Amino acid sequence: MTDNNPLPFRARAIGPEELKALAHPLRMAMYDYLSEHGSATASQLGRHLGESSGQTSYHLRQLEKHGFVEDDPAHERGRDRWWRAVGYSLDGRDMLRDPRTADAAKALLQGVVAERAQVLQRWLSTGDTPEWEAASLNDRTTADLTLEEMQHVVLAVQEIVDDAVKQAKARKAAGQTEGRRRVRIYVDALPLPIDEAV
């Protein structure tokens, strides 16, 4: 979609200040862990990432300040504070072109691509139950599309994913938790380089 017509399903868009706050290796690693596992305490994050709970607590407060994490309402706030990730969207193209944000945008986007490759490699290496493997998808399609056709595909796929996730969240909130586990859905649609020699 164009800047004038953004995807209606995207999470909160972040700006340069939020980008700089997130584009820190430990903060990105903490955000990735929370995204994958649902929630954690500063101590759990510290153990997983080999950091002190003081370090993770500090960085969690910075992430909270910029809207990337929040208290997890599924855990009562007692001695340990449980955190969960909050979704965001990023228009990396503009931030990559802006000299003030280019380094942070590049670091964040490289981290996203590396994390995706790591998750996919782990999925490929470890396998799962036959039922979950049968429900999984790792596929790609290449086609000759116009800009408008590509925009249509992106919007249609995003609408389906958004609707399915909203329905699943509602069922979970209604107490239907049996058989539920965290699932990662990746959707990429990108133009391939134009062939120079035809």
4-37 pLDDT per residue, tens: 445 555 678 788 888 889 989 999 999 999 998 8
pLDDT the model gives residue 147: 94
What residue type is assigned to position 63 of the chain? L
Q: How confident is residue 196, by pLDDT bands cut at 50, 70 and 90? A: low
Cβ within 8 Å of residue 138, ≥6 positions away: 120, 123, 124
Backbone angles phi, psi at 183, to 5 degrees: -130, 140
Residue position matching structure tokens 């909050």: 86
Could you tell me the end-to-end alpha-carbon distance of the chain, in angstroms, rounded to an integer?
A: 29
What residues pair up with 83 in beta bridges, in sequence order? 40, 71
Please, how many CA atoms are within 13 Å of residue 32, restricted to the half-sphere of its CB?
Answer: 20
146-193 pLDDT per residue, tens: 999 999 999 999 899 999 999 999 999 899 999 999 898 988 888 888
Of residues 139, 88, 138, 144, the one with CA closest to residue 153: 144
